[in-house]
Amino acid sequence: MAHDPFYDLFPRPPAPPLEGGKVALITIDMQYLDAHPDGWMGRVAAAEGKLQVLDERFEAIDEIVPNIAALQQAFRRAGQEVMHVRVKYRTADGRDARKAFMPAPDAQPIDRDERDDDFLEGIGPDGDEIVFSKTSASVFSSTEIESVLRRMGIEHLVVTGLVTDGCVELSSRDASDRGFSVTLVTDATCASTRAAHEDAIQRMTDGGFIAAGYTYDGTLWGWISKFDSSGDFMWQKKYAGIYFESIQATADGGYVVSGSVTQSSVHKWAVMKLTATGGITWQKTYGQVYVGRSSIVQTSDGGYVTSAQLPGDTEYGDIGLMRLDSAGKKLWQRSYGGPGTDSPCRTAGSSSSAART
């Protein structure tokens, strides 16, 4: 994703504060219509015999629902506003929206039903929480949300829901254009594909950079450092006992790192999943490897492919390739090599396979 260097001419603004009475959590379009396999979107795919087209979408929705629920409960406990946005037409066939949001009525093979307007269980309105019903991609284009927010003194919106590259992005940009501060929760938003989600996140975030490595000061430390788009240092996190050798941003806004750890004088293949602020989500170790030669990439299904140099018949061994699921469970491992020294340099996605080295 390209970065516009114009914005490097200005200082990076600080993150907006979460001030009581001035912040609201907004959840966008988490309803049966487009967020459940039995909803209108799922029924259209079923009628076309193409249910698999939405597999990645519904898997991503399942992943973010618990995060949205946790955020909603936290806002409620703090006495802050929780708001909900949905698509709801005034007409049965949606002709009041025409092509502004969904396909025109004559292009829709499946009728909607009343349940399509319902929010998913566990993340819908509680009590008198405000619901905005829209007929456009951006909630600001077809509802009174702006005037309501201003009357309530809300200045900062924390945004969740779907899709990241559509209604979430357009609503967030419209909110910012109107002078509201916006925080986008990257692991509480999703799109129909992880690639589309990641592209949207990159468009809407700071254009910064992340670096990983290791150092030894009597103790081995793996470290990651975050820099803004101008290369100015922002923060660093350190982790004891691990060599960090490769890092990649992930679709949820966090990072995944590959490297090695030493256990009983043996170097073991290691992978660590981190949040956007460097918190450890999980850490896994696998078989024996050589230090300094691992690489990792996220796959389209949210898993990972990592490569490293393995012990083999020669002094320095063979190339190892390992496939992991999104939680770091090993799905398979392969080794490749000839009579000489074989060493991977980098793992990257390709158009025809999960990864290449």
Question: Which tokens belong to 253?
Answer: 């806004």
Report which DSSP code applies to 356.
B
pLDDT for 68 equals: 96
216 and 143 both lie in a single domain? no
pLDDT for 355 equals: 35
Per-residue pLDDT for 59 more than 60?
yes
108 and 172 both lie in a single domain? yes
Start-end of H helices in the chain: 32-35, 40-47, 55-77, 139-142, 145-152, 169-177, 194-204
42 and 123 both lie in a single domain? yes
pLDDT for 196 equals: 85
Taking CA atoms, 237 is separated from 214, 248, 255, 256, 297, in Å, by: 11, 15, 12, 14, 21
184 and 236 both lie in a single domain? no
Among 172, 204, 236, give the residue marking a domain's end.
204
> How far is the C-alpha of 343 from the C-alpha of 204, rounded, in Å?
37
Q: 3 φ, ψ to 5°?
A: -115, 135
pLDDT for 197 equals: 85
Among 179, 204, 229, give the residue marking a domain's end.
204
Sort strands 131-134 and 81-87 into parallel, antiparallel or unpaired. parallel
- The percentage of residues in the chain with a pLDDT greater than 70, rounded to a whole number, is 84
Domain annotation covers residue 285: yes
Looking at per-residue pLDDT, the higher value among 105 and 325 belongs to 325
Per-residue pLDDT for 199 more than 60?
yes
pLDDT for 310 equals: 82
Domain annotation covers residue 61: yes
Helix axes 194-204, 55-77, angle to 10 degrees: 50
Looking at per-residue pLDDT, the higher value among 311 and 245 belongs to 245
Residue-number span of the structural domain to which 143 is assigned: 14-204
Q: In what order do the strands lie in the sheet with 220-227?
A: 209-216, 220-227, 233-240
pLDDT for 351 equals: 37
183 and 304 both lie in a single domain? no
Domain annotation covers residue 240: yes
pLDDT for 356 equals: 31
Taking CA atoms, 112 is separated from 38, 55, 83, 109, in Å, by: 11, 21, 24, 10
Under the banding of pLDDT at 50, 70 and 90, the label for residue 202 is confident
Task: Note whether 257 and 250 are within 8 A (CB).
Answer: no
Task: Note whether 165 and 171 are within 8 A (CB).
Answer: no
233 and 199 both lie in a single domain? no
Question: Which tokens belong to 227?
Answer: 């820099």
Domain annotation covers residue 347: no
pLDDT for 230 equals: 66
pLDDT for 357 equals: 30
Average pLDDT for 302-315: 78
Q: Spell out the residues 6+ positions from residue 283 whose beta carbon is closer than 8 angstroms to its own.
A: 270, 271, 272, 273, 328
Domain annotation covers residue 342: no
Start-end of H helices in 121-248: 139-142, 145-152, 169-177, 194-204
Under the banding of pLDDT at 50, 70 and 90, the label for residue 287 is confident
* CATH code of the domain in which 246 resides: 2.130.10.10
181 and 329 both lie in a single domain? no
pLDDT tens-digit readout, 238-262: 999 998 988 988 867 788 999 999 8
Domain annotation covers residue 343: no
Under the banding of pLDDT at 50, 70 and 90, the label for residue 340 is low
> How far is the C-alpha of 74 from the C-alpha of 72, rounded, in Å?
5
302 and 254 both lie in a single domain? yes
pLDDT for 353 equals: 35
Domain annotation covers residue 354: no
Question: Which tokens belong to 103?
Answer: 């396909």
pLDDT tens-digit readout, 67-97: 999 999 999 999 999 999 999 988 877 777 7
Under the banding of pLDDT at 50, 70 and 90, the label for residue 344 is low
Per-residue pLDDT for 127 more than 90?
yes
Per-residue pLDDT for 101 more than 60?
no
* CATH code of the domain in which 37 resides: 3.40.50.850
Per-residue pLDDT for 204 more than 90?
no
197 and 220 both lie in a single domain? no
Report which DSSP code applies to 33.
H
Provide the whole-model pTM.
Answer: 0.62
pLDDT tens-digit readout, 218-240: 999 999 998 876 677 888 999 99
92 and 233 both lie in a single domain? no
175 and 258 both lie in a single domain? no
Domain count, the chain: 2
Domain annotation covers residue 6: no
Average pLDDT for 33-45: 94
200 and 217 both lie in a single domain? no
Among 204, 221, 255, give the residue marking a domain's end.
204
Q: Spell out the residues 6+ positions from residue 121 whose beta carbon is closer than 8 angstroms to its own.
A: none
